[in-house]
């Protein structure tokens, strides 16, 4: 993926997030609930919860909302979500991985199959595209008015594997195992986060050149993002910035 595309996509991701606060609140709230039930409501002990609280704050979720979600989960709310990752192909054979948290796997599978079928793709079997992706911690920092050399020094000192900067955004890459420690170290240094999470990063990317396929891909991604059960959608589309969304 070219540098131009990468930074454009980052800016578009941030703009999309800013425009869908209610949906984002619902999705991150569900993740927090699961983390509390699995590891308790104390972020000093529950590293996953600590990371999710930081993620929620970067998405401008009010602290009162975060604490309310934690208390409700500690109180044994009835929803019992399970994490399921689906794999498939979008228009033009674009590889896609869809991470979900659901309390009804039949509903979720049916919805995803419908989206794939309707917009020119197909839901595949487990493992059909997973080998094309690797887990990496991806931290996006606000780099406006920051010294790039000092940022790089701070990030590498914190344990980051790679550092890039462009368009007032710094992109920090970590191993999945070091993600929490690096994120915490950068938070302690006072950096502002645009986003921070462990992502599925494609080893290779593929472009779409057919305008009709581009339209279908945009509609497929929009349908998935609107679904409350879908937490993340990862794909290997190279020219995402050309989608009309």
Enclosing H/E stretch for 138: strand 133-142
- The predicted pLDDT at position 16 comes to 56
Enclosing H/E stretch for 122: strand 122-123
> Which regions of the chain are under pLDDT 70?
1-21, 76-79, 245
- The predicted pLDDT at position 162 comes to 95
**The domain that contains 69 carries what CATH number?**
1.10.10.200
Token pair 């109180």: residue: 75
In a domain, 113, yes or no: no
CA pair distance 11, 116, nearest whole angstrom: 26
Of 2, 15, 1, nearest to 245 (Cα)?
Answer: 15
In a domain, 173, yes or no: no
Helix axes 47-58, 179-188, angle to 10 degrees: 50
Q: Sheet of 193-202: strands edge to edge?
A: 162-166, 169-174, 133-142, 193-202
- The predicted pLDDT at position 160 comes to 97
> How does pLDDT run across 134-171, given as a tens digit for each residue?
999 999 999 989 999 999 999 999 999 999 998 789 99
- The predicted pLDDT at position 94 comes to 97
- The predicted pLDDT at position 80 comes to 79
- The predicted pLDDT at position 2 comes to 33
Residue ranges of alpha helices (H) inside the chain are 3-18, 21-39, 47-58, 63-74, 105-118, 148-158, 179-188, 211-226
- The predicted pLDDT at position 194 comes to 86
Domain that holds residue 17: 3-74
- The predicted pLDDT at position 3 comes to 36
In a domain, 211, yes or no: no
- The predicted pLDDT at position 152 comes to 96
pTM of the model: 0.84
How many domains, in total, are found in the chain? 1
In a domain, 221, yes or no: no
Assign 201 to helix, strand or coil. strand
């Amino acid at each position: 993926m070219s540098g131009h595309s990468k930074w454009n996509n980052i800016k578009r991701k941030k703009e999309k997030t800013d425009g869908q606060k209610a949906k984002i609140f619902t999705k991150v709230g569900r993740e927090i609930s699961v983390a509390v039930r699995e590891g308790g409501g104390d972020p000093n002990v529950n590293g996953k919860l600590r990371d999710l609280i930081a993620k929620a704050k970067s998405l401008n979720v009010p602290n009162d909302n975060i604490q309310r979600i934690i208390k409700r989960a500690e109180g044994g709310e009835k929803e019992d979500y399970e994490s399921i990752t689906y794999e498939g192909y979008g228009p033009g054979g674009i590889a896609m991985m869809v991470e979900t948290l659901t309390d009804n796997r039949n509903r979720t599978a049916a919805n995803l199959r419908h989206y794939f079928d309707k917009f020119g793709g197909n839901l595949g079997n487990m493992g059909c595209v997973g080998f094309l992706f690797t887990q990496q911690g991806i931290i996006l920092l606000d780099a406006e008015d920051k010294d790039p050399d000092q940022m790089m020094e701070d990030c590498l000192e914190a344990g980051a594997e790679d550092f890039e900067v462009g368009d007032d955004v710094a992109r920090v890459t970590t191993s999945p195992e070091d993600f929490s420690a690096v994120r915490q170290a950068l938070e302690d240094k006072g950096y502002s986060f645009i986003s921070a999470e462990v992502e599925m990063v494609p080893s290779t990317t593929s472009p779409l050149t057919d305008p009709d396929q581009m339209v279908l891909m945009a509609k497929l991604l929009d349908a998935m993002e609107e679904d409350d059960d879908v937490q993340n959608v990862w794909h290997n589309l190279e020219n995402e910035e050309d989608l009309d969304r």
